[in-house]
Chain A
Amino acid sequence: MDELPIRSGDDVVRVRQQVRTVAAENGLSLVDQTKLVTAASELARNTLVHGGGGMAGIEVVKSANGRTGIKLHFTDDGPGIPDVNLALTDGWTTGSGLGLGLSGARRLVDEFELNSKTGAGTSVVVVKWSR
């Protein structure tokens, strides 16, 4: 698994570029690449802005029926999300955004798992499968 730090806006751009490269190499369509990179951008920004920085992991996985997928991990040791269901609601926001980051990212991928506890950081794992 490729691991990349998320400590600055430039790091967010690097994560996007690396996700794009891995997704293209593993046969995701252009639209699916774009969806995955956009989701990665939202999640990496959350890691930076709300988590105070963290790590991104990029992994190539195989399904039982032989499909290739790209699995992304985003982890931080930030303050965590007190109400995960609320945070996944369209329009819910802590700041000046539109509140589409987390909920939008979930719509752009095939699998989405969010674990967070107040004071114990946040981890988001997503998968996009090739068609």
Chain B
Amino acid sequence: MERVPILKIGQTLFVSIQIDLQDDTVLRLQEDLADELATARANGVIIDITAVEIVDSFIGRMLTMIGSISRLFDAETVIVGMRPAVAITLTELGLSLSGVRTALNAEKGLEILNGKA
């Protein structure tokens, strides 16, 4: 099973998903992020899904859960870089990703976390 790396830059955890996600990989990412949040004193998480070709109900639920988990560690999650086709499909699927913020790109995501937006 592949793992998604988590980078800490300043007070922010960066996750850029570059692989075709299988369910176990997403579960592992959720656990790794919770561990990082508990130890790294981060105030925000940016998840870049620019390279993600599909978000199905499982992946969508995991993204929502990552948002909820980070809030328990006083951090906010911003999903950035969603492809238009993914946004259309998610909406038709009935998923709203409630509880996580979204931004067009990583730069805008950082602005949200830094309170500029």
Q: Taking chain B's interface residues, is the majority helix, strand, or loop, or is none over half, making it mixed?
A: helix
Task: Among B23, B25, B56, point to the contact of A38 (Cβ < 8 A).
Answer: B56
Q: Are B20 and A97 in contact (CB under 8 A)?
A: no
Residues of A contacting B58 with CB < 8 Å? 41, 45, 97, 101
How long is the Cα–Cα vector from A104 to B90 in the complex, in angstroms? 9
Quick one: given A16-B54, A108-B89, are A9 and B22 in contact (CB under 8 Å)? yes
Task: Among B20, B24, B85, B93, point to the contact of A100 (Cβ < 8 A).
Answer: B93
Residues of chain B in range 48-93 having any CB-CB distance to chain A below 8 Å? 53-58, 60-61, 83-86, 88-89, 92-93
Residue A68, interface by CB 8 Å: no
Q: Are B23 and A20 in contact (CB under 8 A)?
A: no
Q: Are B94 and A31 in contact (CB under 8 A)?
A: no
Residues of B contacting A100 with CB < 8 Å? 57, 93-95
Q: Are B61 and A31 in contact (CB under 8 A)?
A: no
Interface size on B, residues (CB 8 A): 25
Q: Are B23 and A9 in contact (CB under 8 A)?
A: yes
Residues of A contacting B22 with CB < 8 Å? 9-10, 12-13
Q: Are B54 and A41 in contact (CB under 8 A)?
A: yes
How long is the Cα–Cα vector from A90 to B93 in the complex, in angstroms? 10
Quick one: given A38-B56, A42-B57, are A108 and B20 in contact (CB under 8 Å)? no
Residue A120, interface by CB 8 Å: no
Q: Mark B19-34, 1 if CB is under 8 A from A, else 0.
A: 0111111000000000
Determine the residue in chain A with the shortest Cβ distance to B85.
Answer: A34
- 17 CB < 8 A contacts A-B: A9-B23, A13-B20, A13-B21, A16-B54, A30-B85, A31-B84, A31-B89, A34-B88, A38-B54, A38-B55, A38-B56, A45-B23, A45-B58, A97-B58, A101-B57, A104-B57, A107-B94
List the interface of chain A (C-beta within 8 A of B): 9-10, 12-13, 16-17, 20, 30-31, 33-35, 37-38, 41-42, 45, 90, 97-98, 100-101, 103-104, 107-108
